[in-house]
Structure 1
Amino acid sequence: MSESVAVAAPVADVLPRRLPRGFAFAAVAAIFVLFMAASSAPSPLYVVYQQNWHFSATTLTAVFAVYVVGLIASLLVLGALSDHVGRRPVLGAAIALEATSLVLFLVAGDVPVLFAARLVQGIATGAAMTAMAATLVDLDPPHAPGRAGVVNGIAPTTGLALGALGCGALVQFAPAPTHLVYVVLLAGMVLAALIVAAMPETSGRRPGGLRSLQPRLGVPQRLRADFFALVPILLASWSLGGLYLSLGPSIASGLFGLTNHLIGGLVVTLLCGTGALATFLLRTRPVQWTLGVGAALLTAGLVLTFAGIAAGLVALGIVGTVVAGVGFGASALASFGTLARISAPAERGELFAVAYVISYLAFSVPAVVAGFAATAFGLRPTALVYAAVLGVLAATALVVQRLRVTR
């Protein structure tokens, strides 16, 4: 991993040897957004790839899901590595892997290369997420000690929203729709590599690096009741995100006749952008209150979305997406806020790993099932059943949270 950083080191000589901590904090936050934007950028392009290469909805969602397979594997294996070898080597290697995936996207001419690009991208993103989250905490400004937590909550959904919207705009209005967005992102990764080469190291080397590569998952006995009470809302909110990032543009095009690629990107942005805004606005509210509100808004948004799809009403589908997006952001903020509140520092890494694995499985597996169903039964019935099941899950989460508050 250190070799990938060493490659960028000569170029970094033109920069200050070590960036100021405040600038480094802002730069890492921007790199976090960049990584997540790169992960959602292919979403508006799936429709284009499908038209050019004539593959089914099943293949489309499988391409989406292989990214999550790589991401989960990376989280489990590489999640604690930066605690032992330092943040900069892991970030440098993750950026190099991400750049490799973008090159694969650039040269992709068929589905197998697309699969490879998404798999490499998932591994890179998983490695980068944990290292960037830890780096932000390391660089947390003394005058604003909670800033790292807010950025870690907002950056992922902000990046997903910007990536989908920016890619949709480039595909619709710029030349070379399946290439230009990756050139832009690749340029961003080159800049990110220069920044990482010049930023201060915030975590010293310590032994145990090889041992940290062994995946380990578990929930302490005393936390299991609180943890399992969060599972319905984790499943509902992340499954919703998976649907929008995989089939959202296809639903907009196939069910509502919105063939503009910018609209395809906007579908993802409506969910993730409102989620990011909700995370920021609700950051100071009590966690238990936010959790209840998130479950209620998820339920309401899914009911409205279901009605919009059933009736073919675009406006109702938009309103449902916005309401569900606020619920999505509130649920994510409160779920991980609850885990941070109930766990001791020595328990958090493993507990968050379990929560992320559940979340990303919910993000991918239902989307793949929906892809099979859309191929076999059609897009409209699949979308209706998916929305109905998620509505039931969200309502279950609401009931569970109300019962726990009552007790």
Structure 2
Amino acid sequence: MDKVAVSPYNPLLKGTKVVVYDSTLRDGEQTPGVAFSPEQKVAIARMLDDAGVHQIEAGFPAVSENEVRTIKEISSLGLKADILALSRVMKGDIDAAVDAGVDMVLLFVGTSEIHLRYKMKKTREEVLAMTADALDHCKARGVPASVSAEDTTRTDLEFLMQFYRHSEANGAVRVGVTDTLGCATPEAITDLVSRASREVRVPVALHLHNDFGLATANAIAGVKAGAAAVTTTVNGIGERAGNVPLEQFAVALKYLYGTDIGIDCTKMKALSDYVCAASGLHKPRNQPLVGTNVFAHESGIHVAAILNCPMTYESIPPEAVGNERHIIMGKKTGVNYVKARLEEMRVQATDQQAIEICRRIKELGEKKGRVSNAEFNAIVAQVIPTTSL
């Protein structure tokens, strides 16, 4: 594998321990129009486990009986990852999750004034009582539970801290900071995690949405502030603009911050491709790290440099994330790449012939964009008629 050449000015977070609990099978499936089959869910769970994901949120049992059956099947696979399920602070939801064999129940309840008034139609006192009852029921059923404050980032700060202290006192093993609308900045997440970490001794988790494109930045900020667990989804899929992308979070921690959290980053491209196909969602060519264009080069100046040293235009090698390098031919192709290709093909050409081949590639590229290998071979045969390809 080629060397890594990221910025030397990046701060290091060596020794930081972070649990990734991936929600591709739950929040990811809440992407409008997406419904994984049970077989696809099992396959994704196996791939996540194979990549070293620590915890897998397998679903929301309250959705349907079929959902319960699928979660139960995933729970019985014997994976190394812990299997989690989402639950409202309701006994029926908790029972469904426990009966599906999960290792932890993820309780959530709205805490912002907007949610209390228009969604929950409950007072703060009622929400605290409901949370205590739910945690008591989890203890009675013998399953640990985390508690997340839905819409954390728009919740009154003093009530939020009261909610966290109350949850810990009633047995929560983890409390969650949830940016439900993705409307908080890294500074806000830093402050909230720092404050929560001072209020409770149990780990603080993050569930962050990407409405303003800040999910990954917020996750990193939260980890720096002391968050011990982060929700991700493959390709960042999920409600509205989605969530923290697993591949971006794990790879950024490893290569930008010097922290290996045990995720096999070389499995990211395969995971990304499978989830993309199973979900039916389009993946942009320029999707960070796992898109086909991320390690693709066409500009003659760039390609010439890449041929000498890939680190000139790649901070990490494509193999680090299971991707591949592509040299694209088109209107920006340079003669140095043409000469390199001819040498690979063991085709002898004069400088003038190489320049003419390059001119024709550019001309064709201007008309259609990308020039294929077959079209390149045809151009070579036209310029050097004695060539047998």
TM range (shorter): under 0.3
- TM score, norm. by length of structure 1: 0.22
Higher strand residue share: 2
Kindly name which structure, 1 or 2, has the bigger radius of gyration based on alpha carbons: 2
Higher helix share: 1
Where relative contact order (Cα < 8 A, 6+ residues apart) is larger, the structure is 1
Normalising by structure 2, what TM-score? Answer: 0.23
